[in-house]
Structure 1
Amino acid sequence: MSSEALIFVIVQLLAAAQGILVGAYLILVSKRNKPTFPLGIFLFLFSLEIVPSILKNLNVWQELPLLHWLPLRNIWLLSPLFFLYTQRVSIFKRSNRVYWMFLPGLLVLVLKPLALFVPEQWLGLDNFNRDVSQISFILGHGYCFFIGFLNIRYIDAHIAEVNEVFSSVYRKELKWARTFVVFGLLLCALSLGILLSGTGYQWTHLPFVVILLLTVYWLSFYGTKQYSVQRVLTNPTEYGLVLRPRSKALKPQKEPKEMGVMMVKLQDYFHAEKPYTDPELNIVEVAVALGEHPKKLSKAINVFTGKNFNRFVNTYRVNKAKELLVDPSKANITMEGVGSEVGFQSKSAFYSAFKSVTGTTPLAFQKRPETAT
């Protein structure tokens, strides 16, 4: 083996070892009902994907054909595992688990040991090994696409629900998880392209090993940092997962008088008590204060303002911030301080909401208040 090949194998070993060790650690320290448990299994199996390439580069693959049938490639299980992790950290964490997604992957794991009963002359045939591996590879990636798209839809519903329930969505929207799923789908597409082009399996190329290395770091950081978005209603069926088209607004002709009275109460409450200054304000707390049902209150806000709860509250926060920015007695308060005083958890959230409501930045508004929309 040349020095270049040896260095490449070492890089592969480091990439695989870090994911396997991090995954094994999360599995050991996590309880089975914790989000980090499926995340640990995902990282462990994800990193095993590079092991066949290592065995091939060390010529072990060729000398021991039976190793082809070890459960080292688990593309069938990766997407379901990340979907399960997404469920456990989402606002719908009490919704029914979709364990049926694991059935194809478990079936593959059960069938692989049957290779021990296949005639030895078959196992030694390159065409047999290659054909079976390629069929499993293509079908597995197709299944990965299917579950990935379901996961994106689930996360999109989660994001919509979080904005209906919480006034602050900091570390609650799971946008990083959505980005990871999209990245995974692109990687699957690239893998299939490489297979069909006949240029070789992807983990034999250094760029893919580097991608795996960075992906494990990325997933370990965000995955372990992400906490479960607490479900705020006691009855999980009251505010459950509803995938409704964004374009179809709730019909205002239903109970308009009742909702109008509710909105008057809501506006009076916000002007008098200023609950929006609480960064962790959620719709259940507001509904309890008004003596209304959270779902009905959310519907009233949607119908009469065209906004979700998060945007509705942020409008009040921004309007209050506008008052502070032009108040001479508050001239010494920093922009971050202004955002914090009106209920924003971070400077970036403050700037984003302010720009969305006024069309300008807080600093530009402070200099020329008349330019705001």
Structure 2
Amino acid sequence: MGNGFFSSLLIAGAIQGFAFNIFTISKQKKVSKVILYLNLTVFFLSLNNLQAWLIDKGYSVQNYFIQQFEVAWYLLLFPMFHMFLLHYLKVKNRGNRVLPFFLSVFVIELIVRSAFIIHSYFFTDNFDQSFIQVYERVEEVFNAVIGIGIITKSAYLVFQQKELYTFITDYDDIYWIKIFLKLGGLVLMFWVFAIFINNITGKNWAYLPLRLGTSVLLYWIGYQGFFRYRIVKDRISLRNHLIKEGHEKSSILERKKSPLTKHEKDFDKIHNYISDKQRFLDPKLTMNTLADELKMSPSHFSKIINGHSSSNFSDYINSFRVEQAKKLLSDNHFGNYTIASIGLECGFNSKSTFYSAFKKMTSITPTEFRKVN
């Protein structure tokens, strides 16, 4: 490639990828299939970058066979990503043939390449490499075709078959996966362009955008995949805990000994309904939705909340969420869970909203609260 910047990107991406593998595997007591396939995706992409960097720098050995033995590591990242996607989305009975197919192709290509290298070494004059060069071009075109095929299959699953992964959408909007697939599509276009230019002109400069794109993808899929999965896993566990335990009725509401007025009875009804049904855990909850569920008019509902809770509807609902978050943050059983996952599972729609509401009601951040409890 002859470009220091792109060469530095390659080796930096490879090193970071291997570091990611070591970090994520060492942090897991039991490696799930999601983490396994995510790490394999990053690993093969890192291997491909490392190999490209070594070739670019001219590092080689004297052995003729090894000099010519360029491995298509990138081929394996396609099925690994697809398997990661299936397990992350919890899509069952899909893609069982994808991994065996790609592994078979990978092994066959290694054998065929080895045969051409042996032929070049023993049966040609002056180690003629023309057959190897032709094979490399054919191999790359074939790999691009099946690679585009599996990425298209993955994109179709994410964008068109949402009914297959309804479970995971309760915990993750998978927006980051959609961005990755769009970026991946762009990188594949770079690849097709590079193959075309290389076959026409024999020049490798067209691979520069591809190298940049793969480095970006490596960062994106690695860190987004790992931390998103951790949040999702925490949220699933938290939700199971909340469903099993049930929400204890809040002690904020003190009942009067004197007879309750109609408005007080209505507020009591609203308060108990939200508490008993854990409606505050729904991040999409609105005043109109609750009013409709309780057979009240929105105006009457609003008047009751504003008159008896000493706050508006948003703050009133957030008070339930903050109380639930405080319980989870002070429970040692959930000490390793991310604060973001706790906030999201308590009904907040983002980490920033959770932090803002928590500090407003407690005067400290969730992080500070966890440290002192």
What residue is the counterpart of 1:225 in the other structure?
A: 227
Within the candidate set 109, 112, 120, 2:110 is matched to 112
Query: Deviation at 1:28?
Result: 6.0
What whole-Å deviation, never above 9, does each CA across 1:22-57 have from its counterpart, x for those lacking one?
A: 235445665454311111111010122223432332
- Assess if the C-alpha contact under 8 Å between 1:26 and 1:37 holds in 2: no
Partner residue in 2 for 1:279: 281
- The residue correspondences of 1:327-346 to structure 2 (distance < 5 A) are 327-329=305-307, 332-333=311-312, 335=314, 338=317, 344-346=347-349
**1:259-298 → structure 2 map (5 Å cutoff):** 275=277, 277-279=279-281
Does the Cα contact within 8 Å between 1:23 and 1:44 map onto a contact in 2?
yes
> What is the aligned-residue RMSD (CA, Å)?
4.3
Q: State yes or no: 1:153 paired with 2:166.
A: no
Q: 1:33 to 1:221 in 2, by over 3 A?
A: closer
Shift of the 335–273 alpha-carbon distance from structure 1 to 2, 3 Å rule, reads closer
CA distance in 2, matches of 1:59, 1:133: 19
Task: Confirm whether residue 186 of structure 1 aligns to residue 166 of structure 2.
Answer: no
Larger radius of gyration: 2
Q: CA deviation at 1:5?
A: 5.0
Structure 1 residue 319 corresponds to structure 2 residue 322 = no
Percent sequence identity over aligned pairs: 12
Change in Cα spacing, 1:151 to 1:12, as seen in structure 2 (3 Å) is closer
Alignment-derived partner of residue 45 in structure 2: 46
Cα shift at 1:214: 3.0
Higher helix share: 2
- Give 2:83's aligned residue: 84
Say which is worse superposed, 115-124 or 104-113, in terms of deviation.
115-124
Q: Which one is further off, 222-231 or 330-339?
A: 330-339
Write the distance in 2 (CA, Å) between the matches of 1:59 and 1:98: 40
Distance change in 2, residues 1:345/1:63 (3 Å): same
The answer to whether the Cα contact below 8 Å between 1:23 and 1:39 also exists between their aligned partners in 2 is: no
- Residue type matched to 1:138 in 2? V
Offset at residue 63 of structure 1 (A): 6.9
Give distance in 1, aligned partners of 2:126 and 2:25: 34
Q: How does 1:12-161 map to 2 (within 5 A)?
A: 12-26=10-24, 31=30, 33-60=32-59, 66-67=65-66, 70=69, 72-92=71-91, 94-95=92-93, 98-113=96-111, 114-115=114-115, 117-120=118-121, 121=124, 124-156=127-159, 159-161=162-164
Deviation track 1:95-146 (CA, whole Å, cap 9, x = no partner) reads 3551444323433235415345333148943432322112111111111111
Q: CA deviation at 1:325?
A: 6.2
| Contact persistence 1:122–1:128 (CA under 8 A) | no
* 1:280-313 Cα distance to aligned partner (Å, 9 max, x none): 7xxxxxxxxxxxxxxxxxxxxxxxxxxxxxxxx9
CA distance in 2, matches of 1:29, 1:184: 28
Q: 1:273 to 1:335 in 2, by over 3 A?
A: closer
SS in 2 for 1:151: helix
1:357 counterpart residue number: none
Q: If the length of structure 1 is used for normalisation, what is the TM-score? A: 0.58
Q: How many residues get paired?
A: 273
Contact 1:35–1:88 (CA under 8 A) maintained in structure 2:
yes
SS at match of 2:104: helix
| In 1, Cα distance between equivalents of 2:60 and 2:54 | 5
Q: Distance in 1 between matches of 2:181 and 2:126?
A: 35
Distance 1:318 1:133 in 2: 63
